[in-house]
Amino acid sequence: MPVATPQQYEAMLDAAQKGGYAYPAVNITSIVTINAALKAFADAKSDGIIQVSAGGGQFASGLNVSDAAFGAIILAEATHRLAEKYDILVALHTDHCHPAKVDGFLRPLLDASRQRVAEGKGPLFQSHMYDGSELPLEENMEMSKSLLKECAELGIILEIEAGVVGGEEDGHDTSGLPAEKLYTTPEDMLTVYEELHPLGRFLFAATFGNVHGAYKPGAVQLKPTILRDGQKAVTDKHGADAEMDLVFHGGSGSDLSDIRETLGYGVVKMNIDTDTQYAFTRPIVSHICGNIEGVLKIDGEVGNKKTYDPRSYLKAAEKNMADRLVEAAKDLLSDGKTVFGTV
């Protein structure tokens, strides 16, 4: 069953932490993008993480339904079925859930997993992200602790964020915040560990200047040493085993040197969305522009069904997105390291 069990997911994270590599976490919105992700991980012989945002779930549910949680459940169930044909492991994850969306998005997904667990199955998702970074840290931790308790009971890992990822994603815009908000402090990282560690396993999206979206080279100033210093504050006080599983948000467009540096500081997951969106769309544009007289019925002509059949360009989009995700696996050193069949 290539959608990881809770035990297999923990083994994936342990292997990445011990081996100094990380998993690409790719946002999906459709069957085509699920297939692109599965193809990429299989081609790279890499395990990976497939994630759904609230906006992605809303899109997948259709214009008339427009229900983020329902769409996320549909995408997750489809992934469970499609992944059965592959010999790598994938984990299902939900991306940024802000406080206002907890009741309408995250809790229905926990209920769906609760029902599956009651039926003797594994949870629908293996991890969820609660992003309370817009709140004061104390309030962030209170909700994080409450959600982590619920997740732990179901064998689900909770990802949290302290410090704000800049830019705009999925309708949430933090581009106007002061620069200092983009950097998590060692004190914050110590607080997160001490508040959450007793309750269950968690992933921590500590911020070090990272942003969502696409930027020209040099526009984003990352400070990966923030992760090093924060981990040191934790391990100096609580021992080497306290090193946290960190998440790199806004991985699209990042310099390879920065990506590789974070691997040495405990990053086991890197989110990639903007680059894979572009990789998906680029061949569609090329197809349309190169076959315009066939795609459109110009001057009363009938066009060319073979060129306006969506499959003709969506197959190219699937392949190009998969190729970009293979590149991400190589950047993160997860290629060739699947733990499928060993745990």
pLDDT band at 254 (very low <50, low <70, confident <90, very high): confident
For the chain, the domains span 6-331
What integer pLDDT is reported at residue 172 of this predicted model? 44
* Residue 78 to residue 34: CA distance in whole angstroms: 8
pLDDT band at 144 (very low <50, low <70, confident <90, very high): very high
**What's the mean per-residue pLDDT of the chain?**
92
* Residue 340 to residue 134: CA distance in whole angstroms: 37
pLDDT at 205 over 90: yes
**Strand boundaries in the chain, DSSP class E:** 23-27, 48-52, 90-94, 127-130, 157-162, 168-169, 172-173, 202-206, 245-248, 267-272
What integer pLDDT is reported at residue 173 of this predicted model? 45
Radius of gyration from C-alpha coordinates of the chain: 20
Percent of the chain with pLDDT over 90: 85
136, two tokens? 């004061």
The average pLDDT across 118-142 equals 96
Who's near 308: CB < 8 A, 6+ residues apart?
294, 295, 296
Tell me whether residue 103 is one of the annotated catalytic residues: no
Nearest residue to 215 (alpha-carbon basis) of 255, 256, 247: 255
Interstrand relation of 48-52 and 90-94 (parallel, antiparallel or unpaired)? parallel
**Residue 60 DSSP SS3:** helix
Longest dimension (CA), the chain: 75
Assign domain 6-331 to its CATH architecture. Answer: Alpha-Beta Barrel (3.20)
What integer pLDDT is reported at residue 179 of this predicted model? 55
Please name every residue paired with 50 in a beta bridge, in sequence order, or none if there are none: 26, 92
Across 120-134, 202-216, 220-234, least confident range: 202-216
Q: Give residue-wise pLDDT tens across range 6-30.
A: 999 999 999 999 999 999 999 999 9
What integer pLDDT is reported at residue 183 of this predicted model? 84
Helix 68-82, helix 107-118: angle, nearest 10: 40
Instruction: Determine contact, residues 167/211, Cβ cutoff 8 Å.
Output: yes
What integer pLDDT is reported at residue 180 of this predicted model? 57
* Three-state secondary structure of 237-288: HHCHHHCCEEEECCCCCCCHHHHHHHHCCCEEEEEECHHHHHHHHHHHHHHH
pLDDT at 306 over 60: yes
Catalytic residue (choose from 67, 95, 245, 273) = 95
255-273: buried (b, 16+ CB within 10 Å) or exposed (e) per residue?
Answer: eeebbbbbbebbbbbbbbb
Q: Give how far Cα 239 sits from Cα of 13, 173, 230, Å.
A: 19, 37, 13
Q: Give residue-wise pLDDT tens across range 117-129.
A: 999 999 999 999 9
63, two tokens? 């214009």
Q: Give residue-wise pLDDT tens across range 47-67.
A: 999 999 999 999 999 999 999
